[in-house]
Amino acid sequence: MKIAIGPHESFDQIEIPDRNLVGVYGPSSAPEHDEKALLVRALEQPLGRPGLDDFIADAEDVVVLVNDPSRATPTPMALEHVWDAFGTRQVSVVVATGSHRVPDEAGLSYIFGRMLRRIRPCIQIHRARDDEEMITLGRTSRGTEVAINRRVRDASRVVVIGSLEPHYFAGFTGGRKSFLPGVSAYRTIEGNHRLALLPDAKCLKLDGNPVHEDMLEAMEVIGEENVFALQFVIDGKRRLASACAGELGAAFAASLGPAKEIASVPVHGLMDVVIAVVNPPMDIDLYQSHKAIQHASLAVRDGGILILVSSCREGVGPSTFHEILAGVENPGDVRAIIGERPYRLGDHTAARFADVLERVRVCAVTDLPPGVLERVFVEAASDVQGAIDRALGEVGQDARVLVLTDANVVVPNVQVRDPGDVGV
């Protein structure tokens, strides 16, 4: 069977024998609908808050928090619809970068689209390492120091524009994530993300997830009384599938059902080979693409093969995780090394990457130099079809193969049909 996997020009189409192909799964697509009507309905029926006009009626200034280019959030549509409501108030639009790099002009164009020219004078970029811009508010019970962008803390009203999708250790993005890590100090992000080393920090899991619960505690310290949230879920065709508005926690909670429905796909049994395709904007670097490895690994049997397909067009990304893996003789040493010293941001990525590498073989088709991949125990391949053919040749004619498109977003929910069905 021939399968189009685009959109990268080098990753256009693959072919897998019908006898081997178990399925091709990506985020599901919502029925055809009017996306703007969803947004309007959400704003007209806010959860736990008055309407946006009433909410900002007595505000002198408004801060709008938006996602950085690593999320496919419909920010331009949202801004276009709500901008006039701000009237003559002083408005700052803060790009909630967390610990990610400052977006360049292309990144700003991706975030703001047709609204960029109109709102450019209002745009400000959060810089997590700029301590002068941060204000410390308290500490969570797990010891995370809560320090956030002073401009956000001092605003009369804060309007959050965010989106929900699975996250490999926070459970889901969205909601509280606009504040932590979005506009938090580097030390706050580091304190929270160290909890990702714990076993209950899992994709799709919120109850008992220490990262999520620490984020919620941080929001209690920050306070949500002056926050109005717009929370979106995007479907497999990059269309708006769900919109909720109002109180941050309520809008987040109401979006979880649609997010699970879009992103979680049932997979019967474990696979010999899983192909994880990463689409823009998540294909920006290996750090972001690693999330696809985490998702895809859930469906690979022990000793199986995972093939990552991602341009990684801007390189490795934050280098800490790569340096740790490149500095050990085998992946099994990573957690021991991390445990011997104070946590550094990126350690959790290295640890989870190593966990996968201990269990399955990872091959990657990217724009990265082969040596960059091989130093972290990832086999480099020059083309997708060649990697697939080689994997099938090694596993044998009965190999079970799964393709995950948009693998940074879709999460396989593996259902073992009987005790013997664990992949062959």
Token match 């985020």: residue?
Answer: 27
Among residues 262, 289, 421, 420, the alpha carbon closest in space to that of 356 is found at 289
Model pLDDT, residue 423: 38
Q: What are φ and ψ of residue 196, in 5° steps? A: -70, -10
Which token pair is 129? 């390492």
Among residues 274, 263, 265, the alpha carbon closest in space to that of 403 is found at 274
Q: Which domains does the chain have, with CATH numbers?
A: 2-27+269-415 (3.90.226.30), 35-262 (3.40.50.11440)
CB 154 within 8 A of CB 222: no
Model pLDDT, residue 420: 46
pTM given for the model: 0.91
Percent helix, strand and coil across the chain, each to the nearest 5:
35, 25, 40
Q: What is the DSSP string of 44-77?
A: HS-BSS--HHHHTTT-SEEEEEEE-TTS---HHH
Alpha carbon separation from 127 to 98, 109, 160, 281, 341 (Å, rounded)? 8, 19, 18, 21, 26
Q: What are φ and ψ of residue 414, in 5° steps? A: -75, 125
Number of other CB atoms surrounding residue 197 within 10 Å: 18
Q: How far apart are CA 364 and CA 383, in angstroms?
A: 9
Model pLDDT, residue 6: 65
Q: What are φ and ψ of residue 69, in 5° steps? A: -70, 0
Query: 10-residue block means of pLDDT along the chain (424 residues)?
Result: 67 86 89 89 97 96 94 93 95 95 92 95 96 97 98 97 95 97 97 96 96 98 97 91 97 97 93 94 90 95 97 88 92 93 92 96 96 96 94 94 93 71 39
Q: Could you tell me the sign of the dihedral formed by the alpha carbons of 312, 182, 404, 351, in that order?
A: positive
Number of other CB atoms surrounding residue 403 within 10 Å: 26
Among residues 340, 377, 370, 372, the alpha carbon closest in space to that of 355 is found at 377
Model pLDDT, residue 32: 79
Among residues 366, 407, 401, 380, the alpha carbon closest in space to that of 278 is found at 407
Q: What residues have CB less than 8 Å from 394, skipping those under 6 apart?
A: 305
Which token pair is 416? 């073992």
